[in-house]
Amino acid sequence: MTERIFLTKYIIITGGVVSSIGKGITSASMGRILRSYGLKVSAIKIDPYLNWDSGTLNPYQHGEVFVTNDGMETDLDLGHYERFLDVELEGFANITTGKVYESVIKKEREGGYLGECVQVIPHITNRIKEMIRETSEKRNYDVVLIELGGTVGDIESQPFLEALRQLRNEEGSDNVMFVHVTFIPYLNAAGEFKTKPTQHSTKELRSMGINPDVIVCRSQEHIDDALLAKVAHFCDVDVNAVVNTPDAGSIYEVPLVLEKNNIGQLIVDRIGLDIKADSSKLDDWAKIVDSLKIEDPAVTIGIVGKYVELEDAYISIRESLQHAAASIGVKANIQYLSSDVDELDREVLDSYDGILIPGGFGERGFEGKLDAVDYAIENNVPLFGICLGMQSMVTQFARRNGYPDANSSEFDDNLAHPVIDMMEEQKKIKNMGGTMRLGSYDCKIIEGTKTYDAYGEMDIEERHRHRYEFNNDYRDELQEKGLIISGTSPDDFLVEIIEIPDHPWAIGCQFHPEFKSRPNRPHPLFKSFLEAIYEYSKTRFWKIW
């Protein structure tokens, strides 16, 4: 192993019993605590699936695809890391089995192993460790959190667990600690919590040569100290290192719950961090959590999309709305309405103070989005279109203004009026994802627009994930009919932001602003949207009254 001048500490988070128990939130929360102490912290998400990235995964199976500044399509947990740590991660922070195996096979094909028989151990495990170290050395981080997706015992996780065990031995046990997140179920028939699944999960982890230093016990309700002591006894963990995190009203409360259980001090002591654990450093975070708990006044926002059965498909949008609402002192009640219906429920639409049309791919549900746009225009309801949502706003505006058959060429190659189309240079690219505009791009804001009022500046950067663009062949004609173009690429070639004229607030953006919102720094467009919603809600109240 090459000599390393800067020594990064590692916290490795594994999961047991069931999936989706909150490893990502637990990891992000520990990172938030360490960040509050003044440490330079980053995070890595390991996904054991064979996909190279998350880009082609169905939102119903895997939730939202989060996009980093450098254009990597990643697991949604990177969104949690960015929001909690208030950092901007790079794509290499998401390691997949696909990436690991591809790089090993590429090296083998190039003769990099000098005729060796390439095996899981040591070649795959060595590459996993290399990728982890490459990430930690990019910015000389004090601490890197490594979350291993899936559940201990999954066959696809075994090479990663072995690599992480080796990492501890090579870096030194004083520099690497393991946190095991498990679930403690409550059996109504027995009237008690059951720790046996956690015992078996920990036993499985120890069979891989890994002894957890901390066990975080997730549960629906609070667990008493006697039960936590039982977990400590049977899992061979210090009683003070067994922590309970019952379901919280907000995910942003979890750092406060963990710190109340002295997890910051546990980490500082276990891996020898040269700082003082100080819970008062989270006071500002506690104020943010309090602002998110406001119940009155409240506004109702409808997200009209095609993946509404799984909220995680729009998780960054949901969180961005909550951030913005808290910043102006209102509560955002978020409701989901499927656009994949023959006709949207008018009574439901009437109950919304604002409508948001999210992104997506494919024709299914597009006409429903157009109907929602039409409703918002007709009734002056604040309207926010993101990515395909922006394209639906352009399409419906065109239909209302002389082009009744306007549509996107994503859905039909033989359109009379493709107001949304693919750029000619993109049409030559065949690989899935290769035709997409991914990652951060510069945008120029036009003064005198509602968009400029929201940002307060002309030059911005936003993250993209889309394949089709506003068709410039219709740009002049639609502008003549009143469409406002309030943001473009710096060379004025690509339309980035549009506004519907004669409307209190109707903005559509080609990029995904939700990826840059933070609980302490809500995105300007979301904040402006919520302000417009709140004003609209007050006028609705007086009309109803």
Which residues carry out catalysis?
A: 387, 512, 514
Give the residue among 162, 158, 98, 106 at the shortest CA–CA distance from 129: 162
The 3-state DSSP class for residue 342 equals coil
Q: Which residue is it, tokens 């609402």?
A: 325
Give the residue among 505, 525, 507, 506 at the shortest CA–CA distance from 515: 525
The 3-state DSSP class for residue 343 equals coil
The 3-state DSSP class for residue 335 equals strand
SS3 track for 445-498: ECCCCHHHHHHCCCEEEEEEEECCEECHHHHHHHHHCCCEEEEECCCCCCEEEE
Q: Yes or no: say if 285 and 36 are a contact pair by the CB < 8 Å rule.
A: yes
What's the burial of 385, exposed, middle or buried (CB within 10 Å: 0-12/13-18/19+)?
buried
Give the CA distances from residue 298 to residues 186, 292, 335, 510, 537, in Å, rounded to whole numbers and listed in that order: 34, 12, 13, 28, 9
Q: Which residue is it, tokens 């499985």?
A: 204
CB atoms closer than 10 angstroms to residue 121: 11
For residue 131, give every residue at least 6 positions away whose Cβ sits within 8 Å of its Cβ, in sequence order, or none.
92, 95, 99, 100, 103
Amino acid at 110: E
Angle at 514 between CA 508 and CA 516, to 5 degrees: 120
Q: Is the peptide bond before 122 cis (omega within 30 degrees of 0)?
A: yes
Counted residue by residue, the chain has a size of 545
The 3-state DSSP class for residue 165 equals helix
- Which residues lie across from 386 on neighbouring strands? 509
For residue 293, what are its two tokens?
């708990």
Q: Is 145 left (phi over 0), alpha (psi -120 to 50) or beta?
A: beta
- How many Å from the N-terminal Cα to the C-terminal Cα in the chain? 73
For residue 92, what are its two tokens?
């290499």
Give the residue among 527, 476, 525, 533 at the shortest CA–CA distance from 504: 533
For residue 52, what are its two tokens?
């190279």
Give the CA distances from residue 340 to residues 95, 307, 344, in Å, rounded to whole numbers and listed in that order: 34, 9, 9
